[in-house]
Every structure is written in structure tokens, then in C-alpha cells.
């Protein structure tokens, strides 16, 4: 069956533009997923992610978020981040598991995916603030022109 659904294509989305993020002293090079289709496909069909790489999902407004691992082949940590950049929650996600991992908070404006165990290996915990080479997450992604 031929489908136009990019989540079922078997093909990863092309590498997205990147930005450096800092969590404590740790620097991650993260792909930026801003558009709904980029959110939908995310890390699907990718076969690897380097230790210091990630993907950040940007949402227009804070809210409750829920991610799953449909067609995602790499074990990931899914971090839910408030509008002010505060890391609120980290969830371990297993490849191809379609069980939703909902956020407990309704203040989530950013979601960061990393290799599973990255937060633990790097002693990055809820309460820490994520920043970019351009400042806060809000300044970076929603700066008024």
C-alpha cells in the first residue's frame, strides 16, 4: 500500500537546522522541530543519535504535551520543559512503544529528545534551566522582531 503519511514512509525526515543548547555545563547540538509535520515525524526512522545531540520541539503556547515512540528506532529520553526553560520532567521512552508519555504539567512549551540515559549520565535534573547560544528559550524562539 502506498501512503502519503510521512510517519509511515519508512524514511527519516531530512536533518533539521541545529542550535546549541546548554544544560548546566553540558552542550548539546539540537535539531529544531518547529512545524507540525516536523513534530509528527521527529526522530522516526532514524537509526542513531550521537551522545551530545538532540531534537528540540517548539510549541507556540505552553500546554500539556504527550509524546510516543511510533516508528522510532532509538531509545530516547523525552524531557518536558516550561516556557521559562526550566526542565520539569524526564521520561525514558522505548523504541516503537506507542504508549503515550503525557506530561504531568500543563506548562510545557518545549520538548527535548536525547539518547536514553543522557540526563542521568550527565547529572542533569528537573529544576535546571535550558539555555541557548542566543539566550533563554523564549528569547531564542519567540524574540519580537
Per-domain residue ranges of the chain: 6-140
* In the predicted structure, residue 139 carries a pLDDT above the cut 50: yes
- DSSP H or E segment with residue 36: helix 36-41
The beta-strand segments (E) located in 13-83 are 18-23, 26-33, 53-63, 66-67, 76-82
pTM, full prediction: 0.92
Q: What would the pLDDT profile of 20-40 be if each residue is shown by its tens digit? A: 999 989 999 999 999 999 999
Residue 124 CB-density burial (10 A; 0-12 exposed, 13-18 middle, 19+ buried): buried
Give the CATH number of domain 6-140; options: 2.60.120.1140, 3.30.499.10, 3.10.180.10, 3.40.50.300: 2.60.120.1140
Q: Look at the alpha carbons of 67, 68, 72, 77 in this order and tell me if their dihedral is positive or negative.
A: positive
Amino acid at each position: 500500500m502506498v501512503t502519503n503519511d510521512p510517519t509511515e514512509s519508512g524514511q527519516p525526515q531530512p536533518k533539521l537546522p541545529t542550535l546549541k543548547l546548554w544544560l548546566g555545563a553540558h552542550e548539546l547540538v539540537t535539531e529544531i522541530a518547529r512545524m507540525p509535520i516536523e513534530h509528527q515525524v521527529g526522530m522516526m526512522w532514524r537509526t542513531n543519535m550521537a551522545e551530545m545531540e538532540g531534537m528540540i520541539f517548539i510549541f507556540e503556547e505552553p500546554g500539556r504535551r504527550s509524546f510516543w515512540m511510533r516508528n522510532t528506532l532509538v531509545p530516547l529520553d523525552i524531557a518536558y520543559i516550561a516556557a521559562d526553560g526550566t526542565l520539569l520532567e524526564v521520561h525514558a521512552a522505548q523504541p516503537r512503544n506507542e504508549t503515550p508519555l503525557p506530561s504531568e504539567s500543563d506548562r510545557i512549551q518545549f520538548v527535548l529528545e536525547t539518547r536514553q540515559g543522557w540526563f542521568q549520565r550527565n547529572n542533569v535534573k528537573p529544576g535546571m534551566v535550558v539555555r541557548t547560544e542566543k539566550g533563554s528559550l523564549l528569547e531564542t524562539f519567540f524574540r519580537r522582531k
